[in-house]
Chains A and B, each alone.
Chain A
Amino acid sequence: KQEVTQIPAALSVPEGENLVLNCSFTDSAIYNLQWFRQDPGKGLTSLLLIQSSQREQTSGRLNASLDKSSGRSTLYIAASQPGDSATYLCAVMGNNNDMRFGAGTRLTVKP
């Protein structure tokens, strides 16, 4: 069974800092990996999707990397803003169409 781990569980940074969120997974036979954002009481917003053949994806201040062989992904957020405060979830899609999530990193960006 695929296990997805996210570190750290919580992170608090001052506004303007660059930060990295980490995700690791145990089974490298994946279809894709997605990073989601979840605000309290809301559903999930997909931020970036990396196909298994890709190494990274970028969207605005966000950059996600994937090292499938080592079972790792990182989400880099540049010049953080208070509006970035949310829980960030990493999800791995297996070849059997099952998507497994990590427990998330709760990010707080202080003004």
Chain B
Amino acid sequence: GAGVSQSPRYKVAKRGQDVALRCDPISGHVSLFWYQQALGQGPEFLTYFQNEAQLDKSGLPSDRFFAERPEGSVSTLKIQRTQQEDSAVYLCASGPQLAQLTNTEAFFGQGTRLTVV
């Protein structure tokens, strides 16, 4: 596709429910990043993949958060037993090679807005 695609765009979950957020990066992109953006804040780094390898997961806020990219393409961010503080926009970004996020809008997805009620 022309850019990074994230689904669903919006998700409402009851507290305690598990959710899965999907990111389809640009075809052939090596790097993939997940970010969490709370209302009125900048994006906070969650985790980074290079192909299928998760090289950095230091930003995942708790062991309820889990990300995978098993075939080095599509990635899924899973949140178990959701809590109200998980409410945020989850952004995915991809790059052609190590950290090479160049000047095109297509490199960031539009995000998934998660609301936990």
Contacts and interface: CB of A to CB of B under 8 A. Distances in A.
**Do A and B come from the same complex?**
yes
Interface of A: 4, 6, 31-32, 34, 36, 41-49, 89, 91, 93, 96-104
A100 B108 contact: no
Given A49-B102, A98-B48, A103 B55 contact: no
Nearest to A104: B42
20 contacts: A32-B99, A41-B110, A43-B4, A43-B91, A43-B109, A43-B110, A44-B91, A46-B101, A46-B107, A49-B103, A93-B99, A93-B101, A97-B55, A98-B45, A98-B56, A99-B93, A100-B45, A101-B43, A104-B41, A104-B42
A64 B97 CA distance: 24
Contacts of B55: 97
Interface residues of B, number: 30
Interface of B: 4, 31, 33, 35, 40-45, 48, 50, 55-56, 58-59, 91, 93, 98-99, 101-105, 107-111
B110 A42 contact: yes
A44 B108 contact: yes
